[in-house]
Amino acid sequence: MAARPLISIVTPAYNWAYYRVMENQISSDNLTRLDANESLIQSFIHEHADQLDARQVRETLSRFYGRKGRHEASDGRRWIALVSGMRSVRYGPGLKEAWRSFLRILFDIVRGNGVEPVG
């Protein structure tokens, strides 16, 4: 894993921060990061179920799966994106954002955005 050079964020008089960009870094791979986040969210909900409000959990999962589905659709993972979109609606059937994400995924699939290569 070779590290790229440090990127310096500089203003004329101040050097505020350094950010190291590395190859195969999880933050540079949206789908891997979302899979890791899904695992963290599920384990957190499982461990703290008695302390969480069920409505907030459903809304959070709905928003998460809507976002994940949009990323999957743009990456060409059509069927996986469709499942995530359906999960979004299942967890938040009354949320406008859930339906918006689901429709966005459907439109991306129909238009062929991020279409998987055949063969």
Confidence at residue 13, expressed as pLDDT on a 0 to 100 scale: 56
Residues 84/72, Cβ–Cβ less than 8 Å? yes
Residues 118/87, Cβ–Cβ less than 8 Å? no
> What is the pLDDT averaged over residues 76-95?
95
3-state helix, strand, coil in the chain (%, to 5): 65, 10, 30
Residues 22/3, Cβ–Cβ less than 8 Å? yes
Residues 25/15, Cβ–Cβ less than 8 Å? no
15-51 residue pLDDT tens: 555 555 566 665 667 788 888 899 999 999 999 989 9
Confidence at residue 118, expressed as pLDDT on a 0 to 100 scale: 43
Confidence at residue 86, expressed as pLDDT on a 0 to 100 scale: 97
Model pTM greater than 0.85?
no
